[in-house]
């Protein structure tokens, strides 16, 4: 009786392993990413029509100078007062705003929250991940 139970358990494990391996190979073993309201995936950022996005880079001046999204302006919490006018100079009505920063930082979310509160802009998205991950045309 015990041997039969063990055989059934092994059979069930084998049946469960096949779909799990197929799923893991399809997703490269990466863990699933969950998105909150206003968050977008890096591949979604590249799907906006050309000229319809204003990128906002919340990283440091040094990181920004090493590379940034085309046309991106810097804006972060620490330098808000000195940088916010640069954002308004670059932004045009109707443009989507995509805010990005370091992958393990909440700064992009904080800037998005403050920008929504102070500007009443509605089309503000936070890039979930880092800007280098989104495809450029």
- Whether the CB-CB separation of 56 and 99 falls below 8 Å is answered with yes
Count of other CB atoms within 10 angstroms of residue 111: 25
- Residue from 31, 29, 34, 48 nearest 98 by CA: 48
- Does residue 29 carry a pLDDT above 90? no
pLDDT band at 10 (very low <50, low <70, confident <90, very high): low
| Strands of the sheet with 96-100, listed across from one edge | 39-40, 124-127, 96-100, 53-57, 73-74
**90: closest CA among 121, 53, 123?**
53
Which tens digit of pLDDT belongs to each residue from 66-116? Answer: 989 889 999 999 999 999 999 999 999 989 999 999 877 889 999 999 999
Structure tokens at 55: 């990128």
Q: What is the pLDDT of residue 122?
A: 83
Q: If you average pLDDT over residues 17-25, what whole number do you get?
A: 49
Residue 2's pLDDT band (cuts 50, 70, 90):
low
Residues 6+ apart with CB under 8 A from 124: 38, 96, 97, 99, 112, 115, 116
Q: pTM for the full model? A: 0.70
């Amino acid at each position: 009786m015990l041997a039969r139970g063990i055989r059934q358990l092994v059979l069930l494990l084998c049946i469960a392993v096949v779909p799990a391996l197929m799923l893991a190979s399809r997703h490269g073993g990466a863990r699933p990413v969950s998105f909150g309201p206003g968050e977008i995936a890096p591949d979604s950022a590249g799907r906006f029509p050309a000229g319809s996005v204003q990128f906002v880079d919340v990283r440091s001046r040094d990181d920004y100078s090493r590379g940034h999204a085309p046309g991106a302006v810097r804006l972060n919490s620490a330098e808000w007062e000195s940088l916010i006018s640069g954002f308004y100079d670059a932004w045009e009505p109707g443009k989507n705003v995509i805010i990005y920063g370091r992958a393990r930082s909440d700064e992009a979310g904080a800037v998005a929250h403050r920008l929504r509160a102070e500007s009443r802009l509605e089309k503000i998205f936070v890039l979930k991940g880092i800007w280098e991950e989104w495809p450029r045309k």
